[in-house]
Structures are given as C-alpha cells and as structure tokens.
Structure 1
Amino acid sequence: MEVTRYSSIPAFYADVESFLLSQEDRAGIMLGNSLRFKDKVWEEEQPFLATVKKDGEIVLAAMLIPPYALLLLEKDEAEGLAAVPHLIQYLIKEDYAIHKIMSPKAVGKAFSKEWTTAHQLEEKVLMDLRLYTLQSVIQPAARPGKLRKATQTDLTFLPQWILEMTEETNQLMTFAEAEEYAKDRVESEFLFIWEEDGRPVSMAAKTRPNIKGVSVNLVYTPRDLRGRGYASACVAMLSKYLLNEGFEFCTLYTDLANPTSNKIYQNIGYQPVSDFIELKFNQKSTESPV
C-alpha cells in the first residue's frame, strides 16, 4: 500500500470523488468539506489531505481541516484496517501532530491504538456515534405546532440553547461562539424552529447539502420541555421539507449514550448505517495514585 498526499482540496477531491459518492451517506462530512472548502485559501496551517491506495485503488481517505478533527473513511473495513499502519507511518515520518479524530469506529479505534502507543498518549472518547439515513418520513403522532425558519428575533434565545446543547454533547463553546454560530445559521436560513402556540419549543438545522443527500443536526429541546414529542415533530417535518427540496436522503448522527434520541429517529424513518467515533488524544497523566 502507498500513501498519496494532496496539495489542495480540488486535487484531493478529483481523486476521491467516486470513492466518496459511492457511499455518500457515510462520506457526508468529508464530502461536505470537499465541496464547502474547495475555493478556500489557507494563509497559515494547511489542510492535511491523503489517501492510502492498494493496487491503485483508494482503501482509506484522510482529511484534516484546521482546527477540526482528522477525518478517516474506508469503504471496506478489512482493507481500511490494513491501511491504518501505512497512514500512521507517513504521519510520523512527516512529524504531523494529530490531536483528535472522527472516523468509522473500527478504523478509528485501530488508528487510536497505534497512535497512542507510538506517542505515549491516551485516548478520550468524545462521542460514540451512530449514523442514520432516511429516504421517506414516517409521520409521528399529530401534535399542535408548526415548523418555521429561525429569524433574527430568535437570536434572543438560540445562543443559550446552542450552549446548553454543546454542554450536553461535550462539544463546548463559549457564549460568544454560540452567538456567532446561531447568527450564521439564521442568516443562511439553515436553522429551524418548532413552535407551539407561538412559543419556540425545539430546534433543528439543515447542514451539509451535498450531491444527493443532506444532513440534520443541532437538534435540541430545552430540558423542561422534553418528553412531549417536540423533537420528533421538528426533525420529521424538517426531514420532509429537505426531501421536498429535492434531496434523495437525509442523514443524522446520534450519541449512542442517548437511547431516547436513537429511538425517536428510528420511529420517524431513520435507519442505522454504521457506527462512528470521535476521539481526543491527551498526554498520559503522570500523577501518582492516591
């Protein structure tokens, strides 16, 4: 196997396009980055873009867009696992630092085992995830309310909702970052609100509109409003809206530690595709046990 490094996202995408599109649901984040950042010019740290090939065919793709996690994606698990040591050897040779990865679980765990051993690090699981795909919506039980696009007026509460959601999912933000995040998504018309009797009670967002598919994220209902079907209604109607826009399927990731969300998404038509994991690498603690 051999590692191929790419100098730009257009060069990378030209080589991996068919590899990604053949599994667009699993490749959604890497494909979305390829499309979103294709014209971006990096003034400082450059993206890391590479593939591992066997007999000229891609068996593993790797993408790191600063300051995010290294994304890994294989098509065949066995070949992907066999490719991991080759990628790690290349990264070590290039003295490339990796602090976080997001990957299909088996490949991610294999990468982590070798990377932490080579660098005397320890892994921390940030998110244990399952990817779901939906092609048609199973309408949940009818309830009062409606879906609407978020507006500037909603910025009075959306940053707080986003802050609370990221605290629950270990993806911490400052309040200022949450404000900017909310503002960007309202302006892009990607953020949606479920309201009942004129009161906002839940939210969800459109993200990564790719070739055939689109993703749903940022699903959140305040704690005191949970258990009433708001998230189910919000995600179902947003998914239907996105399919009506012309997308063939919707995807979303769930935290496997939250059985409630996994159940409600399946109840409205989302089917499990594969498991992913997000890991962070830390220095091993040198503190003596008490």
Structure 2
Amino acid sequence: MQIEFLGTGAGAPGKFRNVSSLALRLLDERNSVWLFDAGEGTQHQILRTTLKPRKIDKIFVTHLHGDHIFGLPGLLSSRSFQGGDDKLTIYGPKGIRNFVLTSMRVSETKLSYYIDFVELTDGGKVFEDSKFTVYAAHLDHKIESFGYRVEEHDHDGELLVEKLQADQVPSGPVYGKLKKGETVTLPDGRVLHGQEYIGHAQKGRIVTILGDTRKTLNSEKLAKNADVLVHESTFSKDEATLARNYYHSTNVQAAEIAKKAHVGRLLLNHISARYTGKMAHELEREAQTVFANTKVVKDFDLIDVPFDKERES
C-alpha cells in the first residue's frame, strides 16, 4: 500500500504544486488504484508516474470545488483510450454525477466503460469487499465536503515454517492443511494442530484522507488510530482567523487532530501557493512542535504505508 501525491497545492495550479489529487496504490492488495480527487491537470501528472489509468477503478471525490474535480473529464476520456474497459465507480457529494455526465454530453465523449455513481448524502460505510472497508463523514467546509477512512481488513497469521522445520514436519500438502488451521496426523503418528503453527494475525492498515475543512470533530473520528492521516494545511498557525473565514485549517490544527486521534503519521497537503521553499519547511516545523511525525508533502512524493509490527489482531 502506497500513497502517491499527484497534486498538493490549494486553489490554482502553481509552478511547483498542482491542484489536489492523490492515488492510493493498492497494486499488491487488489491490483488496482483508488484516486482521491482529480484537480485540473491530474492526467498530466499521472503521465509523470508509473500509474496506469486503466488500473483506477474507484475515484473518491471530497467536494465539488474546481481545484478538486476539473481534471475528471479529461482523465475519464483518456482512460477509454488506454485500455480502461472495466467499470469505474465514482463516490462524492450530490452533484458529481451531473458534473461528469454533463461534461461527457457537451463534449460528445463516448466512454468504453460504465461509470457507477455513488452520491453521498450522509456519512457511514460507503464500500466494503473482502479486503477493505471505506467510511465517509461530513467535514466543515463552505460547500459539502467529505473525509474518507480506508480500513484494510486484518491479515491471517503466517504459517510458522521455521517451527515446522524444527519439529521435523515434512513439507508438502500437510503445510497447506495446517495453514487452514486443520488437525493433521503424520505417518509417524504425531498429531499436529494447525493453530499451533500459525502466527498472530496482522492488523490491517488504516488511511484517512480528508477534504477541505475547518477543524472539526469528524476529522478526529475519521482519523482515530489511523496509520496515516492526510490533512489539508492551507494556512499557517498565525493565520487561524483566515483559515476559519475561508473554511480551511492551519498546520497546527491538523497536528492537533493527529495528536488527539493517535495517528501514526501526518501528511500535510493542500498548501497555499504563498508557502514555498523555506516557508513550506516552516509549516512542517511548526506542526512538528505539536505532532512530531509530520511531513509537508510535495507533488510526486510516494509514501509507503507499512504494517505496524506491534499491532497484532
């Protein structure tokens, strides 16, 4: 599981930061990519990565401001030309369906795949399969805005091969039966219980990705015990009044959420164009005084989300 940032800027494209979009790379987990927002130029950003648009099977839209959705029509169209024939699901606030279909209709764009729209009217579970569950909740922005919590299901414990070898258990089909937790009788009469040869289950990872928002309790709820929290940082701590007036957050407010929610790592994005170079580092430093494991991300940063070896199911 990796997070690749395609755009980390706020409002309008800049020389060093494109507008909002990130990809949750789940290639090992389910051979797909989930996109969160698609600001203007997102498909151009994808061209500078190893991502394949045909691998994108879900797009989660946080809200309908242009710097989060203007890249959708071009990306959806190009996906048709790049082997993307499988169904795509788009989640987002009410109005996302109309925006996409109007763009397709006016431009007379014909897609080679079906789009399933899930327009959110309230929070709660929005997706679940055998490996992941996704929850959404309202945030506090000038227009309807959502945050998403992606929970990976726990992984079964691994077969303790070294223990089997130490007990001189011959390899073969018996390993598969023990992995399933079955009881096996060996030719020499020994009875082996599968549970004695399976390690602890590994807790699944949690990634929380928030849309634009003021500091709000739902942010903390979505982020609770997350391995990674992606939070906007449009303003610095000295501009808290501006942040509130424009329905955004400061770097320190994001760090306070991370601290209260006991997250593993805080990644700050949606950075105003005023913060470049040393000023961006200062945003990071200020936030680190509240929550040490904080990073201000840049376009094309690729962040691994490793398993927490201390978190066992």
TM-score between the two structures when normalised by the length of structure 2: 0.29
Higher relative contact order (CA 8 A, sep 6+): 1
Q: TM-score, normalised by structure 1?
A: 0.31
Which structure features the higher share of helix residues? 1
More strand by share: 1
